[in-house]
Structure 1
Amino acid sequence: MTHQRQTRIVATLGPATDPPGVLHELLSAGLNVARINFSHGKREDHERRIAALRAAAADLGHDVAVLADLSGPKVRVRSFRSGPVLLETGARFCIDGALGEHDGTQDAVGTDYPELAKDVQPGDRLLLNDGLIQLRVLDVQGEAVHCEVEAGGELSNHKGINKQGGGLSAGALTAKDREDIVTAAALEVDYLAVSFVRRALDIELTRELLRGAGGHARIVAKIERTEAVAALDSIVEAADAVMVARGDLGVEIGDAQLPGVQKRIIAAARELNRPCITATQMMESMIENPVPTRAEVLDVANAVMDGTDAVMLSAETSVGAHPVRVVETVARICLGAERYPVTERSAERMSSHFDRSDETIAMAAMYVARNAQISAAVALTDSGHTALLLSRLLHGVPIFAMTEQPRTRRRLALARGVTAVEFDRGALPYDQVARDALARLKERGLLDKGQRVLVTKGDRPGTGHTNTMMVLDVP
């Protein structure tokens, strides 16, 4: 049995992944989840890319998940009359909701967020262009927010606006997001990410709209607002997965706070049995360069050692010059980092009480794996929930999720340490199913003769009721 990479790789599709053969190469390099960014492109672009991805995955026999990412209420400046302007430190500058779309000048620019003037007061700091430009609010008059430039730079059309410390009242779902939810349902995506979540209700509303449109995707909460950090546990509980969206999050809470908050989000996701994606600028230099910086290598490795389920690539694969090479590089870094133990929190659960039988079985599996020579865990599963629980608790032990459900196999592509394998138990007798599963894994080279394996299953297939654990030797 060869060592399997445990950490999953999420990569964004775009123009750089469109040429013939690139999707096959990405899948072979280690792509597990393909991200569709609804902030860019048209519906027909998304349809075409998802169809091409699924065709490539079928050719290679891979189970790959599709994650659609909603745009959310990105607060931006409007356009300038004569191109970008240079804001000098100490100068005055106004963001005025009453200015037209193309009326920006050296002194003022409009905004697509008319509530900005109601959300700020003198002394607040506004951060433009991912924090590269900093403004201090001096006065608010009507829709005009008058500021002093504290850190200048070039400002061009449609750059984002953040308020340091949070406090912008924009809701999580825009009219465009509601249309994109319908599109996501029609495209049968596996995960749907909600941008700029502020509270658990944002997740519940998204799920309601998605189910109403006929979609079955799991909901990913993107943590990128100060308010989301304050309500972290309730948001994680409401969601099916979590994303550490470090771009806007870092701007709002400040760079000094970001590392600790990232660790806290990953820990909360693991504690509440939710997959976690760490995202933004992980391999930023590889948009142009064929090799990463040492800082980027350490960034990916630290997220892996903190226990993240997945690391995400954005522009690196969607528009970058080396989309396949960057996935290969991340896969190699993840393998290296996995040689070291992740932050251990599972022991804290040993005194917990469980209402569900699958949670009890998963905890028992953790104890057995720690105190016996277990080479792998095999979960015979329909929903995939037991395999996800095992991935929270078994560190460094390969987990094979055996299921005939294609949707379950795709969803498990996001779970750290889990390899989903197609397995139809058919009319096999109950006492033969486990040994047949081990034989199937051995045929595929995933298990070796004589290895000791932990197996979980239910005595009523198809009910999602895992209530049995056994330890078997591979025949």
Structure 2
Amino acid sequence: MRKRTKIITTLGPSTNSVNVIKGLIEAGTDVFRLNLSHARVDSIKEILNTLKNESKKLNRPVATLIDLQGQKIRIKGFGENKYIRLKSDDKFILDASLNANKGDVKKVGITYKNLYKNVIKGDELLLSDGLIKLQVTNIISKKIHTKVLRGGTLYSYQGLNKKGGGLSLKGLTAKDKIDLKRAITYDIDYIAVSFVKDQNDLIEIKKIIKNKKIGIIAKIERSEALQNLDDIVKHSDGILVARGDLGVEIGIEQLPAVQDKLINKAMSYDKLVIIATQMMESMKTNRLPTRAEVFDVSNAVSSGVDAIMLSGETAVGKYPVDVVLEASRICEIAESTNRKNITIARKEKNFSKVDQVIAMAAAYSADKASIKAIAALTETGSTALWMSRVQSSIPIYAMTQNEKTSRRICLYKGVYSIKINKIEHIHAKANKQVIDLMQQKGTVKKGDLVIITKGDLMGTKGGTNALKIVEVGNLLDI
């Protein structure tokens, strides 16, 4: 059986060839991410065509996630120099008025012109993912004077954070809005919103997306987001724990506890949850992960997350396919040996829809009986999503004739997407169609019990209203 935890692979220079894309799908990639901090929105169309072609050849749906750049503060450049070296006790000035490539060992430009309004003497500013620490000593004519507390190598256009957060930044930039409006004209599946501060950022996204079937993933990477977590989760389809910037703002020693809190919060609302940042970082240059990375991935899987996300490891690393192969193996072993008992206090105590009742009944009963698998005939994927919220080892096969649904399902933990050309409308024939497909894939054998969920009017949104248990090899003759 394939892994239940999904893998998101970030595309980049290392994944430009069709052969690499094919290898990534075969290795276990479920969702492909295009990061608009580094890629152009115009490249989406070509990438989508490649993904669709290779996915079709391999008969394996994959989803796409477009990651908006967001309001990240960065330093500017150092002219002909790629980097400078700062030493402890050096004096260093941050100057928003400085031209893009006029930086040196004494000063550098910054992308956020109002930063001086958001800091006071004594504040600590962190550069290069927290490796370099500055302390504000004075603010003169909008220039921020600092003392270097911890030195290091500083490259052009690296990120800048304020320890503890508190910067008055909006979540969406003008560039994000332009990119989003262009991105939704393509057949994409998910949008990741960077540096979300509160639910208003997500409401603004929804106004642009309107009624398009695109999932919204809120990236939690600002300390302010932790104060507005319930509202953010409720207004999104899921959250992404972006441990890079978040760790810089709150302190990396706080991350393990905060990660567990974020996972539990998303699961309590039956929302998707993704863990990201440096999952397999050493594999940028090595063919094998470190032991610490294996433990990190395994711990995320054991916590019940829907997906782990690979970033630079696949985008710019030397061995992108090897990274996904290793991640897949770790997921499979972690799932098969996991003994962690996950208890979630769900916010929704009652089921409000018929298809939700059927989905949860199937998932709960399958775990208590000798059920080999669940097959969900679905139009929108909602039934499969609800089933996947139950902590269970029973595989769920979501079968749909809707191409977009077949892709979106790929992010749901424990759900395997099967695209079919046409669903039989006579129920006995539909049952046989389901079992035949599962036997072809080698997932069930004669004598196995399978739960099938479907609706009286198959192919209708929200129409699932029936649950049937069938025995493979003992179906009604038609």
The aligned residue for residue 180 of structure 2 is 181
SS at match of 1:467: strand
Deviation at 1:402, TM superposition (A): 1.3
1:337 matched to 2:334? The reply is yes
Deviation at 1:348, TM superposition (A): 4.5
Residue identity in the other structure for 1:166: G
Return the match for 1:406 from 392, 403, 408.
403
SS at match of 2:37: coil
Return the match for 1:274 from 264, 271, 282.
271
1:467 matched to 2:438? The reply is no
Whole-angstrom CA distance in 2 between matches of 1:447 and 1:304: 25
CA contact (8 A) 1:125 1:134 kept: yes
The aligned residue for residue 130 of structure 2 is 131
Return the match for 1:377 from 349, 374, 381.
374
Return the match for 2:214 from 203, 214, 217.
217
Whole-angstrom CA distance in 1 between matches of 2:161 and 2:339: 33
Whole-angstrom CA distance in 2 between matches of 1:390 and 1:473: 21
Moved more, 374-383 or 338-347: 338-347
The aligned residue for residue 390 of structure 2 is 393
Change over 3 Å in CA distance of 1:432–1:342 after alignment to 2: farther
Change over 3 Å in CA distance of 1:206–1:275 after alignment to 2: same
Whole-angstrom CA distance in 2 between matches of 1:12 and 1:33: 9
Whole-angstrom CA distance in 1 between matches of 2:249 and 2:33: 24
The count of aligned residue pairs is 471
Alpha-carbon displacement from aligned partner over 1:45-87 (angstroms, at most 9, x marks no partner): 3332222222111111110101111111110111224623222
The aligned residue for residue 310 of structure 1 is 307
The aligned residue for residue 146 of structure 1 is 145
Whole-angstrom CA distance in 1 between matches of 2:78 and 2:288: 36
CA contact (8 A) 2:367 2:394 kept: no
Alpha-carbon displacement from aligned partner over 1:176-225 (angstroms, at most 9, x marks no partner): 111111221122211111100001111111121123xx853211111101
The aligned residue for residue 324 of structure 1 is 321
1:161 matched to 2:160? The reply is yes
The aligned residue for residue 430 of structure 2 is 433
SS at match of 1:375: strand
Alpha-carbon displacement from aligned partner over 1:299-323 (angstroms, at most 9, x marks no partner): 1111000111111111111111101
SS at match of 1:147: strand
Whole-angstrom CA distance in 2 between matches of 1:390 and 1:41: 35
1:447 matched to 2:440? The reply is no
1:51 matched to 2:49? The reply is yes
Percent of aligned positions that are identical:
41
Residue identity in the other structure for 2:453: T
Q: How does 1:64-75 map to 2 (within 5 A)?
A: 64-75=62-73
Moved more, 51-60 or 290-299: 51-60
Deviation at 1:241, TM superposition (A): 2.0
The aligned residue for residue 202 of structure 2 is 203
Deviation at 1:435, TM superposition (A): 4.1
Q: How does 1:339-354 map to 2 (within 5 A)?
A: 339-341=336-338, 343-345=340-342, 348=345, 352-354=349-351
Whole-angstrom CA distance in 2 between matches of 1:120 and 1:361: 54
Alpha-carbon displacement from aligned partner over 1:334-389 (angstroms, at most 9, x marks no partner): 00100134754467559922222233223323431232111111111111011011
Residue identity in the other structure for 1:147: T
Q: TM-score, normalised by structure 2?
A: 0.94
CA contact (8 A) 2:375 2:451 kept: yes
Unaligned runs of 5+ in 1: none
Return the match for 1:23 from 15, 21, 24.
21
Residue identity in the other structure for 2:102: D
Deviation at 1:92, TM superposition (A): 2.0
SS at match of 1:145: strand
Deviation at 1:469, TM superposition (A): 2.1
Deviation at 1:281, TM superposition (A): 0.8
Residue identity in the other structure for 2:448: Q
Change over 3 Å in CA distance of 1:363–1:350 after alignment to 2: farther
Residue identity in the other structure for 2:107: A
RMSD of Structure 2 on Structure 1 (CA)? 2.0
CA contact (8 A) 2:400 2:423 kept: no
Change over 3 Å in CA distance of 1:342–1:69 after alignment to 2: farther
Moved more, 273-282 or 193-202: 273-282
The aligned residue for residue 40 of structure 1 is 38
The aligned residue for residue 364 of structure 1 is 361
Whole-angstrom CA distance in 1 between matches of 2:469 and 2:338: 24
CA contact (8 A) 1:304 1:342 kept: no
CA contact (8 A) 1:185 1:216 kept: no
Deviation at 1:441, TM superposition (A): 1.6
Residue identity in the other structure for 2:275: T
Alpha-carbon displacement from aligned partner over 1:390-448 (angstroms, at most 9, x marks no partner): 11104111001111111011001111110111235545224543343223222332221
Deviation at 1:41, TM superposition (A): 2.9
Return the match for 2:290 from 290, 293, 318.
293
Whole-angstrom CA distance in 2 between matches of 1:341 and 1:285: 25
Whole-angstrom CA distance in 1 between matches of 2:60 and 2:121: 55
Unaligned runs of 5+ in 2: 474-478
Change over 3 Å in CA distance of 1:188–1:367 after alignment to 2: closer
Whole-angstrom CA distance in 2 between matches of 1:350 and 1:15: 42
1:233 matched to 2:230? The reply is yes
Residue identity in the other structure for 1:163: K
Whole-angstrom CA distance in 1 between matches of 2:267 and 2:355: 16
Whole-angstrom CA distance in 2 between matches of 1:381 and 1:102: 54
Whole-angstrom CA distance in 2 between matches of 1:53 and 1:370: 35
Whole-angstrom CA distance in 1 between matches of 2:423 and 2:316: 45
Whole-angstrom CA distance in 2 between matches of 1:276 and 1:294: 24
Deviation at 1:140, TM superposition (A): 2.1
Q: How does 1:68-83 map to 2 (within 5 A)?
A: 68-81=66-79, 83=81
Deviation at 1:146, TM superposition (A): 1.6
CA contact (8 A) 2:30 2:410 kept: yes
CA contact (8 A) 1:184 1:215 kept: no
Whole-angstrom CA distance in 2 between matches of 1:307 and 1:367: 16
